[in-house]
Chains A and B, each alone.
Chain A
């Protein structure tokens, strides 16, 4: 399937899903589904750098928060509508990713991971002390009273928007994966020196993949201030984003676009269920247990199983 057809399919499915699920009577469904979709975008975005290129980014929360706080900034400054926040947040996060890439991608492996984690801490402190976007006490972003497309409540809208954005993230990830660029990234992941000596412009490709990955993470955060109408630093920089955006591709499989999708839907749904039925405190514990299980039993994730099964059948 070529990229255009896949894009058409993905967006059609997203819009159809958004339309059909509007019939769900339970309001809580939208809030839960919004969170799961948020993780689909984060996991897909993380995987572009972490899975395809092999650079572990511990700073997902920072880029998510950049997206969220860009929305807050534009809301405070111009009472800008959601669409402006989405575009601006994606661009700002992309630029931040470009900066991070430029400064740190000469570092390899664990050094890059630590640098990305450090960025998260620095940004957190920056936001806490920036009064204009609410500082430590947080900021209110009021949901508009009029909801377009005849939707009953604003959460219905941002849920639908999140669906379309998730489709967009998947289209981007898949296009990268199937392209010459994607092969170059895979070569970097396998052996960076050999890649460079095969003509792959490794630094350029790494910076590009960091930029795209971070931009999409930022995009995931842009709707977040509207979700609760309120945002404060410790929720925007929550550890859960960093942990989940790594855990979900690991569980789903890091080699293809489908892995993070499966991982995020599975893990995200389980977390939502547990939050309602057991307790919200159990969330990260479940992620931890699942991670340990998968790393020991299925190091290549669910898609790794599928690959093994496919190869057996071909023989």
Chain B
């Protein structure tokens, strides 16, 4: 078994008296595709926020490539190769689509991957091609449709040249064919050796995509393993469907 890329141990996060995450353990190996599911409010996004550094966990440890990253600011974690997309797209609205990708290319990708300044645009265009936005690099990102904004969100995360990409509900509200587009895109990352954590409510996508599924319910991980086994798990079924 390969060494863990991301190792979350006993992570707890409280908001006042509310415990959003309660001693969560979570492992991701290099190049692995993991689905993270759970009902609304189960702590999926909080876990992502703790991993990427937009929130600080109260207890537990988070290691990335063996290094403890709990004290690192978010931008340092991104530079180490830990990128995310946001559930609600957050484009840099005053910039063109192309310029949106320049930011992670300049600030994150260059830190761990030698990228000549002249190749930034070329690289940005390549990524836009992958997500299907190559046709409109100069469009203002604030004026994109929801679907295109989702794609841009993913493209921007990919532009950081991550070793682990966390996709936070990239597919909510998309049509079946659009879901397939994004699935193909995320699956393509496997070939590049990028591990992916997919947080999703679209079960068809999660089942198709994941090599392993972890289930969070009320801040606790109740199952983790083979997708078919996990969705058959009695506890998981109860969490989703009730008694």
Q: Which residues of A contact B (CB under 8 A)?
A: 180, 183-184, 186-187, 189-191, 193-203, 255
Contact check, A203 vs B79: say whether CB atoms are below 8 A apart. Answer: no
Which chain B residue shows the least CB distance to A195? B103
Alpha-carbon distance A196/B92, docked complex (angstroms): 12
List, sorted by A's number, 15 A–B pairs whose CB atoms are closer than 8 Å: A180-B107, A183-B103, A186-B92, A187-B103, A193-B54, A193-B86, A193-B90, A196-B78, A197-B84, A197-B86, A198-B159, A199-B111, A201-B75, A202-B75, A255-B94
Which chain B residue shows the least CB distance to A314? B138
- B115 contacts the other chain (CB 8 A): no
Contact check, B90 vs A191: say whether CB atoms are below 8 A apart. Answer: yes
Alpha-carbon distance A71/B109, docked complex (angstroms): 46
Q: How large is the interface on B (under 10, 10 to 19, 20 to 34, 35 or more residues)?
A: 20 to 34
Q: A189-B94, A190-B94 are in contact. Are A196 and B103 (CB under 8 A)?
A: no
Contact check, B75 vs A200: say whether CB atoms are below 8 A apart. Answer: yes
Contact check, B90 vs A194: say whether CB atoms are below 8 A apart. Answer: yes
Which chain A residue shows the least CB distance to B102? A183
Q: A198-B108, A199-B111 are in contact. Are A191 and B92 (CB under 8 A)?
A: yes
Contact check, B99 vs A196: say whether CB atoms are below 8 A apart. Answer: no
Q: How far is the CB of B123 from chain A (nearest CB, A)?
A: 14
* Overall SS of chain A's interface: helix
Chain B 150-192, CB within 8 Å of chain A: the 1/0 string? 0000001001100000000000000000000000000000000
Q: How far is the CB of A52 from chain B (nearest CB, A)?
A: 11
On chain A, the residues within 8 Å of B75 by CB distance are 196-202
Which chain A residue shows the least CB distance to B106? A180
Q: How far is the CB of A304 from chain B (nearest CB, A)?
A: 11
> Per a CB cutoff under 8 Å, which of A187, A201, A202 touches B92?
A187
**Which residues 107-125 of B sit at the A interface, judged by CB distance below 8 A?**
107-109, 111
Contact check, A203 vs B108: say whether CB atoms are below 8 A apart. Answer: no
> Per a CB cutoff under 8 Å, which of B78, B91, B93 touches A199?
B78
Contact check, A197 vs B103: say whether CB atoms are below 8 A apart. Answer: no
Alpha-carbon distance A197/B75, docked complex (angstroms): 6
- Count: A-B pairs, CB below 8 Å: 77
On chain A, the residues within 8 Å of B78 by CB distance are 196-199
> Per a CB cutoff under 8 Å, which of B84, B93, B111, B160 touches A190?
B93
On chain A, the residues within 8 Å of B74 by CB distance are 196-197
Alpha-carbon distance A199/B159, docked complex (angstroms): 11
Which chain A residue shows the least CB distance to B86? A194
> Per a CB cutoff under 8 Å, which of B54, B73, B160 touches A198?
B160
Q: How far is the CB of B171 from chain A (nearest CB, A)?
A: 19
- B95 contacts the other chain (CB 8 A): yes
Contact check, A191 vs B103: say whether CB atoms are below 8 A apart. Answer: no
On chain A, the residues within 8 Å of B160 by CB distance are 198-199
- B38 contacts the other chain (CB 8 A): no
Q: How far is the CB of B224 from chain A (nearest CB, A)?
A: 26
Residue of A183, A184, A199 with highest tally of chain B CB at under 10 A: A199
Alpha-carbon distance A240/B79, docked complex (angstroms): 44
Contact check, A183 vs B106: say whether CB atoms are below 8 A apart. Answer: yes
Contact check, B107 vs A190: say whether CB atoms are below 8 A apart. Answer: no
> Per a CB cutoff under 8 Å, which of A183, A193, A195, A199 touches B99?
A183
On chain B, the residues within 8 Å of A186 by CB distance are 92, 94-95
On chain A, the residues within 8 Å of B90 by CB distance are 191, 193-194
Q: How far is the CB of A313 from chain B (nearest CB, A)?
A: 14
Which chain A residue shows the least CB distance to B93? A190
Alpha-carbon distance A184/B102, docked complex (angstroms): 10
Q: A183-B99, A193-B54 are in contact. Are A198 and B104 (CB under 8 A)?
A: yes
Q: How far is the CB of B113 from chain A (nearest CB, A)?
A: 12
Contact check, B92 vs A190: say whether CB atoms are below 8 A apart. Answer: yes
On chain A, the residues within 8 Å of B46 by CB distance are none
Alpha-carbon distance A201/B73, docked complex (angstroms): 8
On chain A, the residues within 8 Å of B109 by CB distance are 199
On chain B, the residues within 8 Å of A200 by CB distance are 75, 103, 107
- B52 contacts the other chain (CB 8 A): yes
Contact check, A196 vs B54: say whether CB atoms are below 8 A apart. Answer: yes
Chain B 39-60, CB within 8 Å of chain A: the 1/0 string? 0000000000000101000000
Q: How far is the CB of A31 from chain B (nearest CB, A)?
A: 39
Contact check, B107 vs A198: say whether CB atoms are below 8 A apart. Answer: yes
On chain B, the residues within 8 Å of A195 by CB distance are 92, 103
Alpha-carbon distance A183/B54, docked complex (angstroms): 21
Q: How far is the CB of B184 from chain A (nearest CB, A)?
A: 24
Q: A180-B106, A184-B103 are in contact. Are A199 and B92 (CB under 8 A)?
A: no
Residue of A180, A189, A190, A202 with highest tally of chain B CB at under 10 A: A190
* 10 pairs of A and B residues whose beta carbons are closest in the complex: A199-B108, A199-B107, A190-B92, A194-B90, A198-B104, A199-B78, A196-B74, A191-B90, A198-B103, A187-B103
Contact check, B94 vs A197: say whether CB atoms are below 8 A apart. Answer: no
On chain A, the residues within 8 Å of B79 by CB distance are 199
Q: How far is the CB of B156 from chain A (nearest CB, A)?
A: 6
